[in-house]
Structure 1
Amino acid sequence: MKKKPPPSPHLAAVAVMDPDLAGKDRDLLERAERHPRSYSEGEMSVWWATAPRLVRPGAGVIGLAGGAWVTGEFEWYTPSAHDGQATASDLISRTMQDVFDGLHSALTFAWPLGAGAFVLAATLYATDAAARNKSARRLAELKDRCVRPAELNDDARTLLARAQQAKKAVLTSAMHRFDLIDRQRNEVSLPRQEWGIAEALREYTRLVKAEPSNPKGGKVAALLDTRRRALRASLDGITRRVNALESYAEQVTQADDHYRELQQIQALTDGSGDVLDFLARTARDDLAVAEIEGMTGEAAAVADAFTTALESAKEAAVIALPTPAA
């Protein structure tokens, strides 16, 4: 078997969700992953979440109401008796009074509308805050149904990234796409394998982080050494699962390569009749026949190699994706 290439140093793990999650819970977790700042505050008082957003609208409504009251209190124009003739002061006062009366009418009409808009905005903001609180509570309930790379130490993140790379290689292969290997089994088992590996790596990381950083005394050091050996054995077991997935992905990739080669050979041999006619016109018949037979033999050899690679991929799937016990 071809030696496996070393894992890419640029591998990056991504969050893994429990494949048994309901659709709406999965959507919620995906939104929280895409917009972490929107969901980082957790649950908070609806009042304190709503009040800061109402300061400006509330000030606007108060300003409109106050303006309506103030403009209604001013009396700029009082008729004066000057033989029935208006003075310049009367004209100015009357003009100012008309302006204030018009402004008063407008503000008297506007502030109730502003108050209604304020109440509507307050209701919408409060409803939004309540919905966010509901989402925050649900996210808290779902915290163990998603494994994030930040929860893992370096060794665990690398293993998870390798498993995810192997899963992606299988699910994006031509073998899977054209159902030349068990497509349905891949789509069910691979996410479960990824989730099982991610859960185990999170627990491994938690236990590693729980170790004292400065052990005191020989007994503590001896106990810590035993604990670390047990954790290493557990990590080795997870590594074997990842290796099995990588072996499966490698076999599928090899089958893909042979499949593409076979397609290219078949495309070339499909035009063998034209080649035969051309060679018959330019060379002896036996040379033409020999050339065509050679192409046919190459196609048969590639087909055999593809069949062998496909069988190897199916055998690797049995190891990497064991059938769950009934």
Structure 2
Amino acid sequence: MADVIVDPALPPADARLLRDNRRLLIRARRGWVPDRSGPSLAAAPYWRLGAVCGATVCLGLLLGVGGLGRSLGPLLLVLLAVPLMIVTFVRTETPEGEEAEHERRVHAQAVRHEGRYVLIDDLDEPSRRLLRRAQRAVAAVSQSRVNAEGLLDDVRNAVMLPAQEWEIARLLAKLSGLRARHRQTLSGESTPEVAAVAEPLTKALDSSEHAVLGRVEALERYAANVAEAERAYRARQQIAELRARLHEYEELVAETGADETTTDELTRLTEDADRLDQALRRSVSSAHEAFRYLEPGPPGP
């Protein structure tokens, strides 16, 4: 399950970068800023460039002064100039340079999209448990065969389920942060006046948690209905495979002279398949009904 939950409205590339770099996002949360003074890419090793230039100049002087021939000198200079040009104009990336550039990109996206992603580390323990429950429900629906086969509204699931996961994570992050500050303020001794003011605020926090719990439970009810449809779908597939081989069983019974009542039992597969079809339709219908509770209601006045 994801430890970084991202607003589904983010561009896919940005969302993927955030999801894949939880460690750097945690550091950014703690105030880390990458070093921006170094090069984004490691340039060619300039000390080697200087060495090549020096060697070229020295060799040219030696060729001119030593009289090695006017035709040989320019040729050697050209041969030395080829690697010199490569070193000068071709920039190579080193692992250190790539890592530094990657860290700058992640930090920039973290700053740019602050408030549009939630780390599991942002949540207190009760909120973390609630989020994990929501994620398990989302995964159960998304990974089901009935969803993949289009028996559910897979298009709406692909949109609604990530939106539900994000909304739950966002609310839990706000709840965790406010609850931590609330407890810190009330830690230690307090007067009756402070307790009287804090009591309704504490109830507001509890009420908010209960509301988020309702969202999670709605997801779990949907996942339970989908699981029932999944069982009926798999059973129907198994019955279909058995029916496809029914004639082989009947031939074997006839050839071996087995009890004729066995044939009657085999023909009941058709009735079993019909019952499973009905069960599948009922369970899919129940899943659709449960899905309606996940949809956002009409906007208020």
Name the TM-score class by shorter chain.
Answer: 0.7 to 0.9
- Structure 1 residues 19 and 70, CA, compared in 2 at 3 Å: closer, same or farther? same
Which of residues 45, 49, 53 in structure 2 aligns to 1:57? 45
Q: Which has the larger displacement, 287-296 or 121-130? A: 121-130
Q: Which residue of 1 aligns with 2:244?
A: 270
1:235-258 CA-to-partner distances (Å, cap 9, x unmatched) read: 111011111111111111121112
Kindly indicate whether residue 298 of structure 2 is the aligned counterpart of residue 325 of structure 1.
Answer: yes
Aligned with 1:210: secondary structure? helix
- Structure 1 residues 31 and 42, CA, compared in 2 at 3 Å: closer, same or farther? farther
CA distance in 2, matches of 1:126, 1:260: 52
Query: 1:231 Cα shift?
Result: 0.6
Which of residues 112, 128, 139 in structure 2 aligns to 1:157? 128
| 1:164-203 matched pairs, under 5 angstroms | 164-203=135-174
Task: For structure 2, list consecutive stretches of 5 or more residues without a partner in the other structure.
Answer: 69-74
Q: Which residue of 1 aligns with 2:217?
A: 243
Q: Which residue of 1 aligns with 2:33?
A: 42
- Structure 1 residues 121 and 67, CA, compared in 2 at 3 Å: closer, same or farther? same
- Structure 1 residues 13 and 62, CA, compared in 2 at 3 Å: closer, same or farther? closer
Question: Which amino acid in the other structure matches residue 112 of structure 2?
Answer: E
Question: Which amino acid in the other structure matches residue 271 of structure 2?
Answer: G
Q: Which residue of 1 aligns with 2:18?
A: 29
Q: Which has the larger displacement, 260-269 or 115-124? A: 115-124
Aligned with 1:147: secondary structure? strand
Do the aligned residues in 2 keep the contact of 1:16 with 1:146 (CA within 8 Å)?
yes
Kindly indicate whether residue 116 of structure 2 is the aligned counterpart of residue 145 of structure 1.
Answer: yes
How much identity, in percent, do the aligned residues show? 26
Q: Which residue of 1 aligns with 2:286?
A: 312
- Structure 1 residues 264 and 109, CA, compared in 2 at 3 Å: closer, same or farther? closer
Task: For structure 1, list consecutive stretches of 5 or more residues without a partner in the other structure.
Answer: 1-11, 75-93, 99-104
- Structure 1 residues 260 and 228, CA, compared in 2 at 3 Å: closer, same or farther? same
- Structure 1 residues 69 and 42, CA, compared in 2 at 3 Å: closer, same or farther? same
Do the aligned residues in 2 keep the contact of 1:57 with 1:118 (CA within 8 Å)?
no
CA distance in 2, matches of 1:109, 1:280: 90
CA distance in 2, matches of 1:21, 1:208: 28
Question: Which amino acid in the other structure matches residue 264 of structure 1?
Answer: Q
Structure 1 or 2, whichever has the larger Rg, is 1
Cα RMSD of the aligned pairs, angstroms, is 4.3
CA distance in 1, matches of 2:281, 2:234: 13
- Structure 1 residues 115 and 37, CA, compared in 2 at 3 Å: closer, same or farther? farther
Q: Which residue of 1 aligns with 2:181?
A: 210
Do the aligned residues in 1 keep the contact of 2:147 with 2:153 (CA within 8 Å)?
yes
Question: Which amino acid in the other structure matches residue 270 of structure 2?
Answer: T
Do the aligned residues in 1 keep the contact of 2:24 with 2:107 (CA within 8 Å)?
no
Do the aligned residues in 1 keep the contact of 2:41 with 2:93 (CA within 8 Å)?
no
Q: Which residue of 1 aligns with 2:3?
A: 14
Q: Which has the larger displacement, 276-285 or 183-192? A: 276-285
CA distance in 2, matches of 1:155, 1:18: 22
Do the aligned residues in 2 keep the contact of 1:50 with 1:122 (CA within 8 Å)?
no
CA distance in 2, matches of 1:38, 1:240: 33
Do the aligned residues in 2 keep the contact of 1:175 with 1:255 (CA within 8 Å)?
yes
CA distance in 1, matches of 2:10, 2:34: 22
CA distance in 2, matches of 1:134, 1:51: 10
Q: Which has the larger displacement, 20-29 or 175-184? A: 20-29
Question: Which amino acid in the other structure matches residue 33 of structure 2?
Answer: G
Do the aligned residues in 2 keep the contact of 1:32 with 1:38 (CA within 8 Å)?
no
CA distance in 1, matches of 2:245, 2:77: 86
Q: Which residue of 1 aligns with 2:266?
A: 292
- Structure 1 residues 308 and 106, CA, compared in 2 at 3 Å: closer, same or farther? same
Do the aligned residues in 1 keep the contact of 2:243 with 2:270 (CA within 8 Å)?
yes
Q: Which has the larger displacement, 293-302 or 245-254? A: 293-302
Query: 1:193 Cα shift?
Result: 0.6
Query: 1:291 Cα shift?
Result: 2.0
Aligned positions, number: 287
CA distance in 1, matches of 2:258, 2:103: 81
